[in-house]
């Protein structure tokens, strides 16, 4: 039995820039914590999401969500993504204290 190919993970430029900014901010206090946060978020998006993109709940801030916009929180960061059978697009990364933004 042939397994269907896993979707490719693609980060929006703004989302990736937010991850880099978070890394630099955390690094001011602790290099180890900065690496832990960055590495775990990247691991989830690269390893967990392609295997099961429906693992996380619907993005409650996405208007008219047809079911393919999801979000999860890790280390006080909220990561929103959209998935299809071929691609998982990381749309945004925001610290939870920034407050939600509908999109």
pLDDT 10s digits, 86-97: 999 999 999 988
Q: Give the pLDDT confidence of 9-28 residue by residue, as tens digits.
A: 999 999 999 999 999 999 99
**Do the Cβ atoms of 63 and 27 come closer than 8 Å?**
no
What pTM, to 2 d.p., does this model score? 0.89
Asked, for residue 39, whether it belongs to a domain, the answer is yes
Q: Give the pLDDT confidence of 37-78 residue by residue, as tens digits.
A: 999 999 999 999 999 999 999 999 988 999 999 999 999 999
The total of other beta-carbon atoms located within 10 Å of residue 20's CB is 11
Asked, for residue 103, whether it belongs to a domain, the answer is no
Instruction: Read off the pLDDT band of 103 (50, 70, 90).
Output: low
Question: Domain range holding 67?
Answer: 8-98
**Total number of domains constituting the chain:** 1
Q: Token pair of 30, please?
A: 């602790």
Beta strands in the chain (DSSP E): 8-11, 69-74, 77-83, 87-95
CB-neighbour burial class of residue 44 (10 A; exposed 0-12, middle 13-18, buried 19+): middle
Asked, for residue 91, whether it belongs to a domain, the answer is yes
């Amino acid at each position: 039995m042939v397994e269907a190919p896993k979707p490719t993970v693609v980060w929006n430029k703004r989302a990736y820039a937010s991850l880099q900014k978070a890394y630099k901010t955390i690094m001011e206090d602790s290099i180890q914590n900065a690496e832990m946060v960055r590495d775990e978020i990247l691991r989830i998006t690269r390893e967990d999401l392609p295997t099961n993109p429906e693992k996380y709940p619907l993005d409650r801030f996405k208007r008219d969500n047809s079911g393919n916009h999801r979000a999860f929180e890790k280390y006080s960061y909220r990561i929103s993504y959209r998935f299809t059978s071929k691609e998982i697009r990381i749309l945004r990364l925001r610290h939870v204290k920034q407050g939600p933004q509908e999109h």
